[in-house]
Amino acid sequence: MPKYHFEDFPVGRRFETESLTVSEADILDFARRFDPQYFHADPDAAKAGPFGGIIASGFHTLSASFSLFFRLHLVEHANLGSPGMEEVRWLRPLRPGDTIHMVAEVTEQRPSQSRPDRGLVWMRHDTFNQRGELIMTANCLHLLRRAQA
């Protein structure tokens, strides 16, 4: 695991993840657990629905996309927990058999005013499918220990 800290995330630094293929079984399994709307959970009913077939829950798209980022283990060592996200946008459906990857880029790096042992890093997280189409984007705040802490 790389021992990255707050200082290792200057504005403009980019990271690209491995890719992941999401199967129909993956979509149905997540839907059964977390989002049983018919267009995620029922392939037959979904054919007549707004997407012409099942698509992944937006929360599945989020979780699967960020799983690729977390498997880089970049923020794990210094991570003090994410305070939140802004501008989550589901732009295109994630369909069975699609292969996704994420590109993350640092957009802001700000030392904490009150706690000298930590700082905040904003990253833009873009998820693309196998055709290079942007399917989701989110700005995520990462609270990270400083190297000298």
Residue 143: helix, strand or coil by DSSP?
Answer: strand
Sheet containing strand 14-21, strands side by side: 14-21, 99-111, 118-128, 134-145
Instruction: Pick the closer one to a second copy by CB: 69 or 109.
Output: 69
Three-state DSSP string of 8-20: HCCCCCEEEEEEE
Among 38, 101, 103, 112, binds a second copy (CB under 8 A): 38
Q: Does residue 15 touch a second copy according to CB under 8 A?
A: no
Stretch that binds a second copy, among 2-10, 53-61, 96-104, 125-133 (CB under 8 A): 53-61
Cβ partners under 8 Å of residue 42, min gap 6: 54
Site for a second copy in 67-96 (CB under 8 A): 67, 70-71, 73, 75-76, 79-90, 93
Interaction with a second copy in 93-132: which residues (CB under 8 A)? 93
**Residue among 12 and 26 whose Cβ is closer to a second copy:** 26
DSSP 123: E
* Residues 18 and 71: beta-carbon distance below 8 Å: yes
Q: Least distance from C-beta 136 to a second copy, angstroms? A: 9
Closest CB to a second copy among residues 12, 55: 55
Burial 32-63 (b: 16+ CB within 10 A, else e): eeebeeebbbeeeebeeeeeeebbbbbebbbe
Residues that bind a second copy (CB under 8 A): 30, 33-39, 50-51, 55, 57-60, 62-64, 66-67, 70-71, 73, 75-76, 79-90, 93
